Amino acid sequence: MTTADATTPPPMEEATVESGRGGWRVVAAKELADHLYSGRFVVLLALMGIATAAAVFAASGGIRDVAPDADGITALFLKLFTVTTDPVPFPLIIFVSFFGPLLGIMFGFDSVNGERAQGTLPRLLSQPIHRDEVILGKFVAGISVIAIMLTALVVFVAGIGIFRLGVTPSVSEVSRLLVWLVFAVVYVAFWQALSTLVSVRTTRAATSALIPVGVWLVLALFGGFIFGALADVISPDDGSAAGLVANARTEHALSQVSPITLFREGSTVLLDPEVRSTGLLTLEQIDRAIVSELNLTQSLGVIWPQMVVLVAMTAALFALAYVSFMRQEVRA
């Protein structure tokens, strides 16, 4: 080999292959370790465990009390996620739909402006990784932590249910739980994407936490009132049956912009094989409906609009955060 050959740099294509674009994996691994060893992870996991245990113990106790008189109950194991009994006033899917957004907000609100406030963002971007891999790695790490926590939640509920009821889930029930788990991760990822977008666009962590929390509280507490008021303006109820149905359908259509509504409707269909629709049914449709249990494929056919819309909303928010971060100027 000649001296010129020894000192000639490798072609650009080979250099790119050697360096790769796997920097997001390094960022994700570091962020994941920071999340798992952080105090917020321990506190959130403990709070979710306590609330989940209370809800599941109450639900399993109620199911066990009525089980001797309720022969032929379909998907008995899944009732742990959908049934509510005293003294806990909410089923588990309502608990996840209401408090799940906190997980996404907690792991996304300071993902970018937290680095900026500490002065570590310029040093991070000065490393031999691409800028887009930084925000991608942070987002993947957040989703990974969310998936770990929700998986632990489902396993915890399943363990309590098996211990309290003595009933093991069937293959169909396990399949529905796995699909619901993925659906729940996407739902929480929506709130992480929202908080990440706000974190990119704002400079203070307190502000980036308040905005998504405000959106969450408005939709969770006042969403029904807001959609009902808008429906009264768009399709006023004139007192007739047709006017009442039009008003109700308009309100239901407007509510589909809320990720909370999308998640609750999808969860109800996934975890209850007897639910056949998410919209309004007429008396004629109810009368002609065949009483039967839907399989998983049929249930997915019912809720595919909710799933597609939720995935699209999550992807759109992350895309906005991605583009905003790529266009920002970061100074040391």
Q: pLDDT digit string (tens) for 83-135?
A: 766 555 567 888 888 888 988 998 888 888 888 777 777 777 777 778 888 88
Distances (CA, A) of 257 to 68, 93, 180, 189, 218: 42, 19, 20, 16, 13
Burial 51-75 (b: 16+ CB within 10 A, else e): bbeebbbbbbebbeeeeeeeeeeeb
Q: Confirm whether 193 is domain-assigned.
A: yes
Task: Give the sign of the dihedral formed by CA 155, CA 161, CA 162, CA 164.
Answer: positive
At 112, give phi and psi (nearest 5°): -110, -55
Q: Confirm whether 208 is domain-assigned.
A: yes
The winner for highest mean pLDDT among 90-104, 157-171, 313-327 is: 313-327
Tell me the C-alpha distance between 328 and 275, whole Å: 47
Q: Confirm whether 3 is domain-assigned.
A: no
Residue 315 has pLDDT above 60, yes or no: yes
Q: How much of the chain, in percent, has pLDDT values that exceed 70?
A: 81
pTM: 0.85
Q: Confirm whether 15 is domain-assigned.
A: no
Tell me the C-alpha distance between 61 and 55, whole Å: 10
Count: domains in the chain: 1
Tokens of 5: 């050959």
Q: Confirm whether 10 is domain-assigned.
A: no
Please measure the distance between the N-terminal and C-terminal CA atoms of the chain and give it in whole angstroms: 44
Q: Confirm whether 124 is domain-assigned.
A: yes
Q: Confirm whether 12 is domain-assigned.
A: no
Average confidence score pLDDT of the chain: 81
Tell me the C-alpha distance between 3 and 145, whole Å: 52
Domain with 93, as residue range(s), is 22-327
Among the residue ranges 188-202, 283-297, 304-318, the one predicted with the least confidence is: 283-297
- 128 in helix, strand or coil? coil
Q: Using alpha carbons, select from 191, 158, 173, 190 the residue that is nearest to residue 270.
A: 173
Element (H, E) at 117: helix 113-118
pLDDT at position 218: 94
Q: Confirm whether 304 is domain-assigned.
A: yes
pLDDT at position 128: 76
